Amino acid sequence: MDASKKSADRAGISVRAILVGVVLCGAIAVGLPYGEFVLNGTQLGLNSSTPAAFFLLFILVAFVQPLLGLVRRDWLFSRAELLSMAVMMMITTAIAARGFVSIAVPILTGIFYFASPENNWQELLLPHVPTWLIPYDAPAIRGFYEGLPAGAAIPWGVWLEPLLWWLLFMAAFYGVVVCSMVVLRRQWMDHERLLYPLTQVPLGMVEDAATPSPIKPFLKNPAMWLGLAVPFVLHGVNALSHYYEFIGRLNFIYSLPLAQDAVRFYLRFDCMWMGLAYLVNANITFSLWFFYLLVKAEEVLFTRIGILSTENLDIFSHTFEGPTMGLLSHQTMGAMIVMVLWGLWTARVHLWHVVQHLWRREGRSDGEELMSYRTAVFGIALGLAVMALWLWRSGLPLWAVGVYLFGAFVIFLALTRMIVEAGLAAAVQGMSGCGFLISSVGSSSLGVAGVLATGMTLAWAGDLLVFMMAPCANGIRMLHGLSRYKRRILAMIGLAMAIGLVGGVCTILVLSYHYGANNYHGSWAWFAKEPFRVAQNFALNPTGPNWAGWLWNGVGAGVMALLIWARHHLLWWPFHPLGYLASGTWILNSVWFSIFLAWLVKALVLKYTGPNGYKATRWFFIGMVLGQFVAGGFWMVVDGFTGMTGNRIRMF
């Protein structure tokens, strides 16, 4: 019995795996800010597939695991341990860079450093910023941007109070995210059978053979290595061009101006996007590129006949990116609202079943989940209450808090659905929660303090190239079947979040006071100024509700409703609603062509070789995805040792 118990425990999750996971998460929390801001290199935390996590998992499986097997077989990590460590790294990656830290820290410092007599932020905005929300110390902020003199100490005390309040808010937010994904796991995974394409890469890496071996089966697959070699070689050439001038740089993108350059049409080849798209249902990939081309035609037509948008919201609402982009942002927001509400309606039986667990003592069906449904529901309620109170105290009117949270979580749920069903590793919103609230109710009803508080939410709900809900949903999918270790898994998730938040923030503070944040790439100042630029604009030019925006919201909602109806009632209908949902966002500009190529190759493979041909080629495309992550991680490590800067491989 003792031997059996020991074997079962080794097949599960050991304390050793937790400690290794903590070390790897720490490396991510330090490495991502250093790589982004000091090296100005590949941003391995810049999409929701969390490239840094997959790169380190590859190192574990391809190098560490075989070495452990050579030394002692019972030192090998089990499949459960590898998956749990991967999920830890995914979560930390989604926090320690663009997912929160790289945007929040500049926003906390922007009003003091970038205030000037011209923008009048000191008199116009600063009186409306609560003293607990940002570090109120101009000299400390100046040192942050310009670097401290040699021997000067970092003023940690100035940062302590605001960071503690922000950590409280983020803990509540992440609690809501985890609990909501636990609630929706069965609906998405069992009832609707969504594919979770991003999980196929890590699940493929840790898959065991019939006979246990230190060498995982995917490492013995020639197709995988061939696929991995494609991006590794292509990006390797460009990386070497930074070191040797005689090596030419490869260009993977071509742009074509349309409508007198008011609209641009992009052709870009990207291995990661092509590989992920190959793993997705062909109906979805067809709809993605078809609706993109349709929207481009719409942009050209609207530009020609003068149907334009002059709305000026925040940069993450994309209303400034062209004369028609604001219209598309509103259409996308309306489509998101309909899709999320329809999804909740479709899940109504499951959700009612979840609610019944609040009082049900017998016949419970949540044993396979990471937490009980009762805990999840209470966690959602408590987290939302804390978030609402925090937002109200930051300056947002209480009535507006509900409107804002509705819009923000519609966006999060819609984007997560796009990622777990369509494999869009960098799905983005058409409009931010900030833009949705201001456009919907008008800045006049919010006041200067309310608009400013809304702008501050861009720290966690602005740039959504990577956000916590998607890695959390994928992680819960990967860990399904390990509910026996739910307490240990939840502890690992909590540790990963804490390391990402605390480690990421502390790393940026140390780097900034040493190097000076003024030396970081241009997006830093962009993020730092944005909430205050928005607040200044609406303080000087107050607006009412944008009724034209409401009209275009309605257009998007109506089209989405028709697409959903057609998909459920017309067997021959070829278009998936997610194609329309993504078509109005900027990300498809740079990825549609790679998605089209994947769709075309998959269609030809299925037509001439059938399902067996798809299975045989699948590993080649998984290798392409993994190869891009490995290339990015490899060159960031090399650049870290050599000191090379600006050597960047695009991850979105």
How much is the pLDDT for 11?
55
How much is the pLDDT for 646?
92
Mean pLDDT estimate for the chain: 93
High-pLDDT (> 90) share of the chain, %: 84
Residue 121 lies in a domain: yes
How much is the pLDDT for 185?
96
- Cβ 389 vs Cβ 408: under 8 Å: no
- The rounded distance, in Å, linking the Cα atoms of 52 and 62 is 15
Residue 542 lies in a domain: no
How much is the pLDDT for 518?
94
- The rounded distance, in Å, linking the Cα atoms of 151 and 156 is 15
- Cβ 648 vs Cβ 250: under 8 Å: no
Going by pLDDT thresholds of 50, 70 and 90, the confidence category of residue 121 is very high
Amino acid identity of residue 121, one-letter, is W
Compute the average pLDDT of residues 571-583.
95
Residue 354 lies in a domain: no
HSE toward the beta carbon, residue 25, CA cutoff 13 A: 29
Among 48-52, 311-315, 329-333, 577-581, the minimum mean pLDDT is found in: 311-315
Residue 450 lies in a domain: no
- Cβ 266 vs Cβ 255: under 8 Å: yes
The residues, ordered by sequence, that sit 6+ positions from 92 with a Cβ below 8 Å of its Cβ are 25, 28, 29, 53, 496, 497, 499, 500, 503
The residues, ordered by sequence, that sit 6+ positions from 396 with a Cβ below 8 Å of its Cβ are 404, 446, 450, 453, 454
- Cβ 428 vs Cβ 465: under 8 Å: yes
- The rounded distance, in Å, linking the Cα atoms of 416 and 425 is 10
Maximum mean pLDDT: which of 70-84, 305-319, 373-387:
373-387
How much is the pLDDT for 648?
93
How much is the pLDDT for 259?
67
Helix (H, G, I), strand (E, B) or coil at 446: coil
pLDDT at 279 over 70: yes
From residue 554, alpha-carbon distances to 296, 301, 335, 407, 561 in Å are 20, 20, 8, 15, 10
How much is the pLDDT for 2?
40
Residue 317 lies in a domain: no
DSSP strand pairing (253-258 vs 263-268): antiparallel
Going by pLDDT thresholds of 50, 70 and 90, the confidence category of residue 4 is very low
**Structure tokens given for 90:** 């995914």
High-pLDDT (> 70) share of the chain, %: 97
pLDDT at 288 over 80: yes
**Structure tokens given for 572:** 């021959």
Domain hosting residue 36, numbered range: 14-312+325-346+360-442+456-537+549-642
pLDDT at 555 over 70: yes
Going by pLDDT thresholds of 50, 70 and 90, the confidence category of residue 8 is very low
Helix (H, G, I), strand (E, B) or coil at 487: helix
Q: According to the 3-state scheme, what is the secondary structure of 218-234? A: HHHCHHHHHHHHHHHHH
How much is the pLDDT for 55?
98
Greater pLDDT, 592 or 259: 592
pLDDT at 258 over 90: no
**Structure tokens given for 235:** 């990006």
Residues 387/52/70/640 CA torsion (nearest 10 deg): -130
Residue 236 lies in a domain: yes
Residue 6 lies in a domain: no
Going by pLDDT thresholds of 50, 70 and 90, the confidence category of residue 306 is confident
Quick: pLDDT tens for 351-400.
999 999 998 877 788 888 999 999 999 999 999 999 999 999 999 999 99
Going by pLDDT thresholds of 50, 70 and 90, the confidence category of residue 321 is low
Q: How many domains does the chain have?
A: 1
Nearest to 547 by CA among 439, 471, 415, 401: 439
Quick: pLDDT tens for 198-235.
999 999 999 988 777 889 999 999 999 999 999 999 99
pLDDT at 3 over 50: no
How much is the pLDDT for 7?
39
Among 260-264, 324-328, 529-533, the minimum mean pLDDT is found in: 260-264
Going by pLDDT thresholds of 50, 70 and 90, the confidence category of residue 81 is very high
Q: What are phi and psi of 570, to 5 degrees?
A: -115, 110
pLDDT at 173 over 50: yes
pLDDT at 70 over 80: yes
Residue 447 lies in a domain: no
